[in-house]
Amino acid sequence: MTHWLPEDLWQACAPQTAVQNDVNGFPRAGAQALLDRGVRYLFSGINSDSGGPPLPRLTAFWWKQPDGRRLFVWMSLTYGDGFFFFETEEWRRGPLPLAADARYRPPRAGDVLKTDEASLRRAHEQCLRRLRQFEQDGYRHPVLVVSMTSMWRYDNDPPFPPLADFVAAWNQLGLEPRLRLTTATEAMKHLEQVAGADAPEYTGEWTDWWANGTASAPREVAASRFAKRFLAAAQSPVWGPLDDPTRHRIEALTRDLCLFDEHTWGSGMSIGQPYSLDAQGQFNEKARLAWRPMALAEWLLGQRARTRLVPAGEGLWLANPAPAPSPAGPPSSPPASATTTDPSRIPPPAAAPNSSSNPARSGVAPPDLPT
């Protein structure tokens, strides 16, 4: 996923902070991939439902990787909890309004975070109450980094533009502490300055306690795993170099599989109303991210094998697409690519056509299917 953005855009933006909210855990392999791309910070706003944070909230720590590199992590409050520093009641109705339900809407200016002086002073009192509680629990840093969501559906909501007016009015009134709207990276840099030197260091895996969804869809999980194995085999150099259409197809299928692995396993009503049209429809969207890649990846692997071996003529061909050496070769040889009773019959793989080649002639890029 760290390569999904176009490289020129990645270099221009130079992201340094990853933000993961809601989900309880984060894979260590993901942390290493972030460091590989120059991302130094991880901001986590965990939802405690069916799990919880591994450390007390409002904890900064260094996550040391097996190779010695470290990621600076901020264990924040729940990702929308910033709202309750200034309001005492949740504005959202529902609790989970459908986006298409016209009875509900995002909050507007004057609904929440009002900017008149009386409202600001009430918000200030609420803020001080929360800060005193954190201080009683041991919080000692001079800055506090929190995040906020809108109050229409809480998740997947549009921004709340009047938040900028609220912050400006608060600071203009001279209320303390001062508020600052900033980027995640600027906030993490400031937090590292005040907390990084004394932050504890931890090692190990950070497991995801929301992985129970995998047990609810064993067939789809199996399909996703077959798809990943097919794609790994299809990318082996045993079949020759990849052409551009095939490479793009592999990237697209890999993205679908990443989305399948994402933590959402169906509708919010999948337990209470498992056979409702909404629950069934949302799971259909989820499941196709496993079934479709499995079929196309298997087809792709078959075409790669045909393109490589058909010119050699008929026979029984044994191919090793794995990076491990083949038992058929001597221990000192490089990983074997293909073996047969007559190795001299295997023709060298053809050079990959460039992006201007006709993908239909390459025989490896599967056709687009209806989405």
pLDDT, one tens digit per residue, over 243-264 is 999 999 999 999 999 999 887 7
- Percent of the chain topping pLDDT 70: 87
109 with 256, same domain? no
In a domain, 299, yes or no: yes
Task: In whole angstroms, give the CA distance from residue 153 to residue 188.
Answer: 27
Domain end: 172, 203, 234, which one?
A: 203
**Number of domains comprising the chain:** 2
In this predicted structure, the answer to whether residue 352 has a pLDDT above a threshold of 50 is no
In a domain, 329, yes or no: no
As a whole number, mean pLDDT of residues 120-129 equals 98
Domain end: 203, 221, 253, which one?
A: 203
Structure tokens of 200?
Answer: 């504890």
244 with 197, same domain? no
**pLDDT digits over 279-299, tens only?**
899 999 999 999 999 999 999
pLDDT at 144: 96
**pLDDT digits over 162-187, tens only?**
999 999 999 999 999 999 999 999 99
Task: In whole angstroms, give the CA distance from residue 137 to residue 277.
Answer: 46
pLDDT grade for 335, boundaries at 50, 70 and 90: very low
146 with 198, same domain? yes
H helix count then E strand count, the chain? 10, 7
188 with 227, same domain? no
**pLDDT digits over 188-229, tens only?**
999 999 999 999 999 999 987 677 778 889 999 999 999 999
In a domain, 369, yes or no: no
282 with 186, same domain? no
Report the DSSP pairing between strands 59-64 and 201-203. parallel
pLDDT at 364: 41
Residue 239: domain span = 213-313+350-362
Domain end: 171, 203, 235, which one?
A: 203
As a whole number, mean pLDDT of residues 91-117 equals 90
Please state, rounded to an integer, the average pLDDT across all residues of the chain.
86
In this predicted structure, the answer to whether residue 97 has a pLDDT above a threshold of 60 is yes
17 with 152, same domain? yes
Q: Sheet containing 201-203: which strands, arranged edge to edge?
A: 17-22, 41-46, 70-75, 59-64, 201-203
In this predicted structure, the answer to whether residue 330 has a pLDDT above a threshold of 80 is no
pLDDT at 96: 78
CATH of the domain at 199: 3.20.110.10
**pLDDT digits over 3-50, tens only?**
888 999 999 999 999 999 988 889 999 999 999 999 999 999 998 887
In a domain, 354, yes or no: yes
189 with 263, same domain? no
40 with 165, same domain? yes
Task: In whole angstroms, give the CA distance from residue 109 to residue 30.
Answer: 39
